[in-house]
Amino acid sequence: MEKLGSLGEDESIFSNPDSLEPDFVPPLLPFREGEMKEIASTLKPLCAGGSGRNIFITGKAGIGKTHAVKKVLRDLREETKNILVFYINCWTHSTSREVFEEILSQMRLPKSSEMTPTGMLGKILLRSGERPVVLCFDEIDKAKEHGFLYSALEEFKKKVLILISNNEDFLAGLDERIRSRLLAREIIFRPYSREEMAGIIRERRKYAFYEDTWSKAAIEAVEERAFEAGDVRFALHALRLAGLKAESMASRTVMKEHAEEALAELEK
Protein backbone atom coordinates (compact mmCIF):
# COMPACT_ATOMS: atom_id res chain seq x y z
CA MET A 1 0.00 0.00 0.00
CA GLU A 2 1.34 3.42 -0.99
CA LYS A 3 2.49 5.50 1.93
CA LEU A 4 0.19 8.48 2.51
CA GLY A 5 1.65 11.64 1.04
CA SER A 6 4.33 9.91 -1.04
CA LEU A 7 4.76 10.56 -4.75
CA GLY A 8 3.38 7.90 -7.11
CA GLU A 9 5.58 6.35 -9.81
CA ASP A 10 3.69 8.15 -12.57
CA GLU A 11 3.61 11.50 -10.73
CA SER A 12 6.04 14.41 -10.77
CA ILE A 13 6.52 17.64 -8.85
CA PHE A 14 7.80 19.24 -12.09
CA SER A 15 5.19 20.99 -14.23
CA ASN A 16 7.63 22.25 -16.91
CA PRO A 17 11.23 21.08 -16.36
CA ASP A 18 12.34 22.66 -19.66
CA SER A 19 11.95 26.08 -18.05
CA LEU A 20 15.04 25.28 -15.95
CA GLU A 21 17.21 24.91 -19.05
CA PRO A 22 19.83 27.69 -19.31
CA ASP A 23 18.63 28.53 -22.85
CA PHE A 24 14.99 28.98 -21.80
CA VAL A 25 13.96 32.64 -22.14
CA PRO A 26 11.00 33.32 -19.82
CA PRO A 27 8.10 35.54 -20.98
CA LEU A 28 9.09 38.04 -18.29
CA LEU A 29 12.66 38.99 -17.40
CA PRO A 30 12.41 40.77 -14.04
CA PHE A 31 14.97 43.37 -12.96
CA ARG A 32 16.44 43.83 -16.45
CA GLU A 33 13.79 46.19 -17.81
CA GLY A 34 16.20 49.14 -17.84
CA GLU A 35 18.91 47.32 -19.78
CA MET A 36 16.38 45.89 -22.27
CA LYS A 37 14.95 49.36 -22.82
CA GLU A 38 18.46 50.64 -23.62
CA ILE A 39 19.06 47.84 -26.12
CA ALA A 40 15.66 48.34 -27.77
CA SER A 41 16.18 52.10 -28.09
CA THR A 42 19.50 51.51 -29.85
CA LEU A 43 17.81 49.20 -32.36
CA LYS A 44 14.90 51.58 -32.97
CA PRO A 45 16.48 53.46 -35.95
CA LEU A 46 16.49 50.17 -37.89
CA CYS A 47 12.69 50.12 -37.80
CA ALA A 48 12.71 53.45 -39.66
CA GLY A 49 15.08 52.09 -42.27
CA GLY A 50 18.20 53.67 -40.81
CA SER A 51 21.31 52.34 -39.08
CA GLY A 52 21.54 52.13 -35.30
CA ARG A 53 24.54 52.34 -32.99
CA ASN A 54 26.54 49.21 -32.21
CA ILE A 55 26.38 47.83 -28.66
CA PHE A 56 28.90 46.20 -26.32
CA ILE A 57 27.22 44.38 -23.42
CA THR A 58 29.33 43.26 -20.48
CA GLY A 59 28.97 42.03 -16.92
CA LYS A 60 29.58 38.91 -14.82
CA ALA A 61 28.55 35.47 -16.06
CA GLY A 62 25.04 34.29 -15.30
CA ILE A 63 23.37 37.66 -14.70
CA GLY A 64 20.98 37.80 -17.65
CA LYS A 65 22.95 39.42 -20.49
CA THR A 66 22.12 36.80 -23.12
CA HIS A 67 18.52 36.38 -21.98
CA ALA A 68 17.91 40.13 -22.08
CA VAL A 69 19.28 40.40 -25.62
CA LYS A 70 17.36 37.34 -26.82
CA LYS A 71 14.14 38.76 -25.36
CA VAL A 72 14.63 42.09 -27.18
CA LEU A 73 15.50 40.30 -30.44
CA ARG A 74 12.45 38.06 -30.11
CA ASP A 75 10.23 41.10 -29.64
CA LEU A 76 11.88 42.75 -32.67
CA ARG A 77 11.20 39.70 -34.85
CA GLU A 78 7.55 39.75 -33.78
CA GLU A 79 7.27 43.47 -34.50
CA THR A 80 8.67 43.47 -38.03
CA LYS A 81 9.75 41.08 -40.77
CA ASN A 82 11.80 43.76 -42.54
CA ILE A 83 14.82 43.41 -40.24
CA LEU A 84 17.09 40.38 -40.44
CA VAL A 85 18.16 39.18 -36.98
CA PHE A 86 21.03 36.76 -36.38
CA TYR A 87 22.34 35.36 -33.09
CA ILE A 88 25.76 33.66 -33.17
CA ASN A 89 27.62 32.16 -30.21
CA CYS A 90 31.34 32.64 -30.84
CA TRP A 91 32.32 29.83 -28.52
CA THR A 92 30.61 27.46 -30.97
CA HIS A 93 31.37 29.48 -34.12
CA SER A 94 34.80 30.95 -33.52
CA THR A 95 36.13 31.73 -37.02
CA SER A 96 34.87 33.87 -39.89
CA ARG A 97 34.07 30.74 -41.91
CA GLU A 98 32.01 29.27 -39.07
CA VAL A 99 30.23 32.58 -38.40
CA PHE A 100 29.20 33.03 -42.05
CA GLU A 101 28.20 29.36 -42.31
CA GLU A 102 25.92 29.83 -39.30
CA ILE A 103 24.35 32.95 -40.83
CA LEU A 104 23.73 31.04 -44.08
CA SER A 105 22.15 28.25 -42.03
CA GLN A 106 19.85 30.69 -40.21
CA MET A 107 18.87 32.13 -43.61
CA ARG A 108 18.18 28.57 -44.81
CA LEU A 109 20.67 29.04 -47.63
CA PRO A 110 22.83 26.15 -48.88
CA LYS A 111 26.51 26.32 -48.03
CA SER A 112 29.44 24.62 -49.69
CA SER A 113 32.72 23.49 -48.14
CA GLU A 114 34.44 24.99 -51.18
CA MET A 115 33.06 28.48 -50.57
CA THR A 116 35.44 31.04 -49.07
CA PRO A 117 34.26 33.33 -46.25
CA THR A 118 34.25 36.15 -48.82
CA GLY A 119 32.01 34.11 -51.11
CA MET A 120 29.66 33.27 -48.26
CA LEU A 121 29.46 36.93 -47.24
CA GLY A 122 28.60 37.89 -50.83
CA LYS A 123 25.78 35.34 -50.84
CA ILE A 124 24.46 36.70 -47.53
CA LEU A 125 24.59 40.30 -48.77
CA LEU A 126 22.79 39.37 -52.00
CA ARG A 127 19.99 37.63 -50.11
CA SER A 128 19.63 40.33 -47.46
CA GLY A 129 19.29 43.05 -50.08
CA GLU A 130 18.64 46.47 -48.58
CA ARG A 131 17.07 45.19 -45.38
CA PRO A 132 18.58 46.34 -42.07
CA VAL A 133 20.47 43.65 -40.15
CA VAL A 134 21.08 42.91 -36.46
CA LEU A 135 24.10 40.69 -35.81
CA CYS A 136 24.47 39.50 -32.21
CA PHE A 137 27.82 37.91 -31.34
CA ASP A 138 27.61 36.28 -27.92
CA GLU A 139 30.78 35.18 -26.07
CA ILE A 140 32.67 37.38 -28.56
CA ASP A 141 35.87 37.00 -26.51
CA LYS A 142 35.93 33.29 -27.48
CA ALA A 143 36.34 34.06 -31.20
CA LYS A 144 39.71 32.96 -32.57
CA GLU A 145 39.87 35.89 -35.00
CA HIS A 146 37.69 38.91 -35.78
CA GLY A 147 37.72 39.19 -39.55
CA PHE A 148 33.94 38.68 -39.60
CA LEU A 149 33.51 41.81 -37.45
CA TYR A 150 35.49 43.92 -39.90
CA SER A 151 33.54 42.47 -42.85
CA ALA A 152 30.17 43.08 -41.18
CA LEU A 153 31.06 46.65 -40.27
CA GLU A 154 32.26 47.38 -43.80
CA GLU A 155 29.73 45.50 -45.93
CA PHE A 156 26.36 45.84 -44.18
CA LYS A 157 25.05 49.37 -44.73
CA LYS A 158 22.13 49.40 -42.27
CA LYS A 159 23.03 47.39 -39.24
CA VAL A 160 23.55 47.06 -35.51
CA LEU A 161 26.23 44.77 -34.14
CA ILE A 162 25.69 43.53 -30.58
CA LEU A 163 28.76 42.10 -28.84
CA ILE A 164 28.33 40.26 -25.52
CA SER A 165 31.25 39.39 -23.26
CA ASN A 166 32.03 38.73 -19.59
CA ASN A 167 35.36 40.49 -20.23
CA GLU A 168 34.82 44.22 -19.77
CA ASP A 169 38.22 44.95 -21.37
CA PHE A 170 37.49 43.06 -24.58
CA LEU A 171 37.13 46.13 -26.80
CA ALA A 172 40.55 47.44 -25.78
CA GLY A 173 42.17 44.35 -27.29
CA LEU A 174 40.48 44.68 -30.70
CA ASP A 175 42.35 45.76 -33.79
CA GLU A 176 42.20 49.55 -34.09
CA ARG A 177 40.57 49.29 -37.53
CA ILE A 178 37.67 47.34 -36.03
CA ARG A 179 37.41 49.42 -32.86
CA SER A 180 37.28 52.71 -34.77
CA ARG A 181 34.48 51.41 -36.99
CA LEU A 182 32.56 49.80 -34.15
CA LEU A 183 32.21 52.85 -31.87
CA ALA A 184 30.04 50.75 -29.60
CA ARG A 185 27.71 51.98 -26.89
CA GLU A 186 28.59 50.12 -23.69
CA ILE A 187 25.82 48.65 -21.54
CA ILE A 188 27.01 47.20 -18.22
CA PHE A 189 24.83 44.62 -16.44
CA ARG A 190 25.18 45.01 -12.69
CA PRO A 191 25.00 41.93 -10.39
CA TYR A 192 21.60 41.03 -8.94
CA SER A 193 20.84 42.04 -5.37
CA ARG A 194 19.79 39.40 -2.85
CA GLU A 195 16.13 40.38 -3.22
CA GLU A 196 16.34 40.28 -7.03
CA MET A 197 17.97 36.84 -7.04
CA ALA A 198 15.21 35.59 -4.74
CA GLY A 199 12.59 37.07 -7.10
CA ILE A 200 14.14 35.36 -10.14
CA ILE A 201 14.24 32.00 -8.35
CA ARG A 202 10.62 32.47 -7.28
CA GLU A 203 9.55 33.13 -10.90
CA ARG A 204 11.41 30.11 -12.25
CA ARG A 205 9.89 27.85 -9.59
CA LYS A 206 6.44 28.98 -10.79
CA TYR A 207 7.27 27.92 -14.34
CA ALA A 208 9.01 24.65 -13.42
CA PHE A 209 7.14 23.16 -10.43
CA TYR A 210 3.60 22.61 -9.29
CA GLU A 211 2.38 24.79 -6.45
CA ASP A 212 3.31 24.01 -2.85
CA THR A 213 6.10 21.58 -3.76
CA TRP A 214 8.92 23.49 -2.02
CA SER A 215 9.44 24.00 1.71
CA LYS A 216 10.40 27.48 2.88
CA ALA A 217 13.72 26.19 4.27
CA ALA A 218 14.64 24.58 0.94
CA ILE A 219 13.86 27.79 -0.97
CA GLU A 220 15.95 29.87 1.42
CA ALA A 221 18.91 27.49 1.10
CA VAL A 222 18.93 27.80 -2.71
CA GLU A 223 18.39 31.57 -2.63
CA GLU A 224 21.27 32.10 -0.20
CA ARG A 225 23.79 30.01 -2.13
CA ALA A 226 22.69 31.39 -5.52
CA PHE A 227 23.20 34.96 -4.30
CA GLU A 228 26.67 34.06 -3.04
CA ALA A 229 27.50 32.54 -6.44
CA GLY A 230 25.94 35.53 -8.21
CA ASP A 231 24.90 33.25 -11.07
CA VAL A 232 21.32 32.50 -12.13
CA ARG A 233 22.45 29.36 -13.97
CA PHE A 234 23.74 27.96 -10.67
CA ALA A 235 20.28 28.58 -9.21
CA LEU A 236 18.58 26.78 -12.13
CA HIS A 237 20.83 23.73 -11.74
CA ALA A 238 20.17 23.72 -8.00
CA LEU A 239 16.38 23.89 -8.47
CA ARG A 240 16.41 21.01 -10.94
CA LEU A 241 18.76 18.79 -8.93
CA ALA A 242 16.92 19.38 -5.64
CA GLY A 243 13.63 18.52 -7.37
CA LEU A 244 15.10 15.29 -8.75
CA LYS A 245 16.44 14.34 -5.32
CA ALA A 246 13.00 14.91 -3.78
CA GLU A 247 11.38 12.74 -6.47
CA SER A 248 13.96 9.98 -5.94
CA MET A 249 12.73 9.85 -2.34
CA ALA A 250 9.07 9.86 -3.49
CA SER A 251 8.60 13.17 -1.69
CA ARG A 252 5.86 15.54 -2.80
CA THR A 253 7.85 18.42 -1.29
CA VAL A 254 11.43 19.56 -1.81
CA MET A 255 12.81 19.70 1.72
CA LYS A 256 15.89 21.47 3.05
CA GLU A 257 17.91 18.25 3.02
CA HIS A 258 17.18 17.77 -0.70
CA ALA A 259 18.31 21.32 -1.44
CA GLU A 260 21.45 20.98 0.68
CA GLU A 261 22.38 17.69 -1.03
CA ALA A 262 21.93 19.33 -4.44
CA LEU A 263 23.99 22.38 -3.46
CA ALA A 264 26.82 20.26 -2.02
CA GLU A 265 26.90 18.20 -5.22
CA LEU A 266 27.01 21.30 -7.42
CA GLU A 267 29.78 22.87 -5.37
CA LYS A 268 32.03 19.87 -6.08
- Report pLDDT digits (tens) over 36-55: 999 999 999 999 988 999 99
- Report pLDDT digits (tens) over 206-263: 999 999 999 999 999 999 999 999 999 999 999 999 999 999 999 999 999 999 999 9
Rounded-to-integer distance, Cα 160 and Cα 243, Å: 41
In a domain, 165, yes or no: yes
In a domain, 6, yes or no: no
Supply the CATH number for residue 180's domain: 3.40.50.300
DSSP state of 97: H
Q: What is the mean pLDDT of the chain?
A: 94
Are 151 and 203 found together in one domain? no
- Report pLDDT digits (tens) over 96-121: 999 999 999 999 998 877 889 999 99
pTM over 0.85: yes
pLDDT at 111: 80
Q: Which residues contact 19 (CB under 8 A, 6 or more apart)?
A: 26, 204, 207, 208
Q: Is 38 helix (H, G, I), strand (E, B) or coil?
A: helix
Are 116 and 200 found together in one domain? no
Tally of structural domains, the chain: 2
pLDDT at 137: 98
Rounded-to-integer distance, Cα 258 and Cα 254, Å: 6
Q: Does 133 have pLDDT greater than 70? A: yes
- Report pLDDT digits (tens) over 161-218: 999 999 999 999 999 999 999 999 999 999 999 999 999 999 999 999 999 999 999 9
Are 180 and 198 found together in one domain? no
Express as a percent the part of the chain with pLDDT over 90. 89
Cα–Cα separations (whole angstroms), residue 235 to 13, 215, 221: 18, 16, 10
Structural contact between residues 7 and 209, judged by C-beta atoms closer than 8 angstroms: no
pLDDT at 8: 87
pLDDT at 3: 38
Supply the CATH number for residue 226's domain: 1.10.8.60
Residue 205, domain extent? 17-24+192-267
Are 94 and 224 found together in one domain? no
Q: Among residues 113, 109, 199, 99, which one has the least CA distance to residue 149?
A: 99
pLDDT at 184: 96
Rounded-to-integer distance, Cα 71 and Cα 67, Å: 6
